[in-house]
């Protein structure tokens, strides 16, 4: 095998892998929006079949020959960034596919449905005890899988690396400690400041709210040629269906929060569908998974969508189109959307406390996989952490350890990404401000084009060619750094609460 043949084989495998992933995305979208109850069992079989085909790609002769050829090759020796990315990603997929014992994977997949059912029942009964054995089983199987893939690393290290490629648990922990300290200090100081007065905002007609939020998503730059909206799901998400096809799914709701949901998902979608043609041809489209994808979403949700500049342009339009806002001033709206108030639920939390929810979940997982926390103690440890970090104690298990489906739904070793996303947004904002000093003035005129162009140019075009770390180095010259995000929060909330 020659170098070019090897690269050609990788591209072929990549292409087929992406086709399978695209089908899995369509399955997910269908499952949450249109799949009828009795269709679920067969769909699961079809999905399992496709999953096996996808895995088999990397267990065949072609992949083995590629892996053999590459065994002595160093990434630094390769011709260009795309080749390096192809080889890097091939190695990860090959490693995962050939080292995960088929029986273990089957056992895990079979118990997943039971695990989700147990979670639902436990939630209903507000009783973690029902879910506890399933949580233990899911975590332990996940641990075995991680140790099969890499026997030389702690399981949690491998799992975190599978979500946030290239990051070490140690590095994440350090930045999380800085972030945690900064956030708790800010929270304490905000309590000494003057919380701006807020007014209740009534719900609007869901259809009007949806229309307005969709228009805003379009005006960020999310093109109707590259995606479509679906309002039938329970939890909003974005599907990456193809290099120029990223779909935003939301629920129907009259709350103004729907606007931020749309801006968030539009961020995911624009990132996912903004790769250059060269990157698409290499099968590297769609963006870096984990925290960095989240960052692209949260950047539009928060750095753009929560900014006063943004609303100084859009708020009069909101008032014109949605009657309930006519009697609410921009200041009052800004105050409501910047209300800092610890709650037990991550999903409805404010910009300041949000990361703490993610960090404490990351720490619980880390402690579990290190053997320092058992499933028996999880609910208690959860509540203790909430009390310690946020000053509130969940009233019951449903409000606490059972609050979301992540652990029941195979999102294990995933929580760090939500806080990493915030950290990255701070770094992205800083870099963008340097390049576009009049960014706020432009936003206030409704001119979002420079932001779109910058993101396209600096981030989106590269798809998943670089890891998040590599991208941050290209953008800022440094790696993961919580400081800019903390500074952004200090600026924004300090001014509002009169503590700066």
Per the annotation, binding residues for Zn(2+) are 264, 268, 294
Q: Which is nearer to its own copies, 53 or 317 (CB)?
A: 53
Q: Nearest distance from residue 155's CB to its own copies, in Å?
A: 33
Q: Nearest distance from residue 281's CB to its own copies, in Å?
A: 12
Phi/psi for 496 (5° steps) reads: -65, -35
β-pairing verdict for 237-242 and 229-230:
unpaired
Burial 232-269 (b: 16+ CB within 10 A, else e): ebeebbbbbbbbebbbbbbbebbebbbbbbbbbbbbbb
Phi/psi for 164 (5° steps) reads: -115, 85
Tokens in use for 59? 């267990």
Q: Please report which helix (H) or strand (E) contains residue 240, including its range.
A: strand 237-242
Question: Choosing from 265, 301, 351, 365, which is the catalytic residue?
Answer: 265
Residues at the binding site are 264, 268, 294
Q: Which is nearer to its own copies, 45 or 380 (CB)?
A: 45
Q: Which is nearer to its own copies, 248 or 472 (CB)?
A: 248
**Is residue 394 left, alpha or beta, with left meaning phi > 0 and alpha meaning psi from -120 to 50?**
beta
Q: Which is nearer to its own copies, 257 or 461 (CB)?
A: 461
Would residue 210 show up in a list of annotated catalytic residues for this protein?
A: no
- Interatomic CA distance for residues 362 and 413, integer angstroms: 7
Burial 366-399 (b: 16+ CB within 10 A, else e): bbbbeeebebeebbebbbebbeebbeeebeebbb
Q: Which is nearer to its own copies, 246 or 356 (CB)?
A: 246
Q: Please report which helix (H) or strand (E) contains residue 247, including its range.
A: strand 245-249
Q: Which is nearer to its own copies, 39 or 202 (CB)?
A: 39
Asked if residue 342 lies in contact with residue 392, where contact means CB atoms within 8 angstroms, the answer is: yes
Q: Say which residues have a Cβ less than 8 Å from residue 476's Cβ, sequence separation at least 6.
A: 427, 430, 431
Q: Which is nearer to its own copies, 226 or 298 (CB)?
A: 226
- Interatomic CA distance for residues 483 and 461, integer angstroms: 26
Q: Which is nearer to its own copies, 3 or 42 (CB)?
A: 42
Q: Nearest distance from residue 251's CB to its own copies, in Å?
A: 17
Q: Nearest distance from residue 449's CB to its own copies, in Å?
A: 20
Asked if residue 472 lies in contact with residue 482, where contact means CB atoms within 8 angstroms, the answer is: no
What is the layout of strands, in order, in the sheet containing 237-242?
229-230, 245-249, 237-242
**Site of interaction with its own copies (CB under 8 A):** 15-16, 19, 22-23, 26-27, 30, 34-39, 41-43, 45-46, 49-50, 53, 223-228, 230, 241-245, 247, 273
**What are the residue ranges of helices labelled H in 58-127?**
61-70, 81-99, 102-125
- Interatomic CA distance for residues 24 and 46, integer angstroms: 10
Helices 169-192 and 416-435: angle between axes, nearest 10 degrees:
80
Tokens in use for 298? 């949260």
Q: Helix, strand or coil for residue 1?
A: coil
Q: Which is nearer to its own copies, 182 or 227 (CB)?
A: 227
- Interatomic CA distance for residues 179 and 17, integer angstroms: 37
N-term to C-term CA, the chain = 63
If you count them, how many residues does the chain have?
500
- Interatomic CA distance for residues 55 and 423, integer angstroms: 33
Q: Nearest distance from residue 329's CB to its own copies, in Å?
A: 36
What are the catalytic residues? 265
């Amino acid at each position: 095998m020659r170098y070019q043949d090897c690269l050609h084989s990788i591209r072929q495998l990549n292409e087929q892998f992406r086709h399978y992933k695209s089908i899995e995305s369509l399955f997910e979208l269908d499952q949450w929006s249109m799949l009828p109850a009795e269709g679920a069992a067969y769909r699961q079989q079809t999905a399992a079949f496709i999953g096996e085909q996808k895995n088999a790609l990397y267990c065949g002769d072609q992949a083995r020959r590629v892996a053999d050829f590459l065994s002595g090759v160093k990434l630094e020796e390769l011709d260009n960034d795309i080749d390096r990315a192809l080889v890097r990603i091939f190695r990860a997929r090959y490693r995962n596919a050939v080292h995960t014992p088929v029986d273990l994977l089957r056992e895990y997949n079979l118990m997943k449905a039971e695990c989700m059912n147990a979670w639902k029942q436990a939630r209903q009964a507000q009783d973690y005890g029902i879910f506890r054995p399933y949580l233990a089983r899911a975590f332990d199987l996940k641990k075995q899988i991680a140790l099969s893939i890499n026997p030389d690393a702690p399981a949690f290290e491998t799992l975190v690396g599978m979500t946030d490629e290239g990051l070490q648990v140690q590095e994440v922990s350090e930045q999380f400690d800085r972030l945690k300290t900064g956030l708790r200090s800010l929270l304490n100081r905000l309590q000494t400041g003057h919380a701006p007065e807020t007014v209740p905002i009534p719900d609007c007609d869901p259809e009007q709210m949806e229309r307005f939020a969709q228009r805003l998503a379009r005006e960020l730059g999310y093109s109707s040629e590259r995606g479509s909206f679906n309002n039938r799901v329970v939890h909003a998400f974005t599907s990456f269906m193809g290099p120029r096809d990223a779909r935003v799914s939301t629920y129907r709701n009259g709350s103004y929060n729907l606007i931020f949901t749309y801006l968030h998902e539009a961020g995911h979608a624009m990132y996912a569908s903004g790769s250059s043609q060269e990157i698409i041809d290499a099968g590297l489209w769609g963006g870096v998974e984990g925290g960095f994808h989240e960052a692209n979403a949260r950047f539009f949700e928060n750095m753009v969508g929560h900014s006063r500049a943004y609303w100084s342009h859009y708020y009069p339009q909101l008032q014109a189109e949605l009657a309930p806002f006519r009697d609410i001033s921009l200041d009052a709206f800004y105050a409501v959307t910047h209300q800092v108030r610890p709650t037990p639920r991550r999903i409805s939390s404010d910009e300041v406390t949000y990361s703490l929810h993610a960090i404490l979940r990351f720490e619980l997982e880390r402690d579990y996989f290190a053997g320092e926390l058992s499933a028996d103690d999880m609910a208690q440890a959860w509540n203790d952490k909430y009390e310690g970090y946020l000053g509130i104690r969940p009233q019951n298990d449903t409000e606490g350890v059972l609050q979301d489906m992540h652990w029941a739904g195979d999102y294990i070793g995933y929580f760090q990404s939500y806080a990493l996303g915030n950290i990255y947004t701070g770094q992205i904002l800083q870099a963008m401000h340097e390049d576009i000093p009049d960014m706020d003035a432009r936003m206030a005129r409704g001119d979002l084009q420079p932001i779109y162009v910058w993101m396209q140019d600096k981030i989106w075009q590269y798809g998943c060619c670089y890891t998040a770390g590599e991208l941050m180095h290209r953008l800022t010259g440094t790696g993961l750094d919580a400081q800019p995000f903390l500074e952004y929060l200090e600026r924004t909330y300090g001014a509002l609460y009169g503590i700066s």
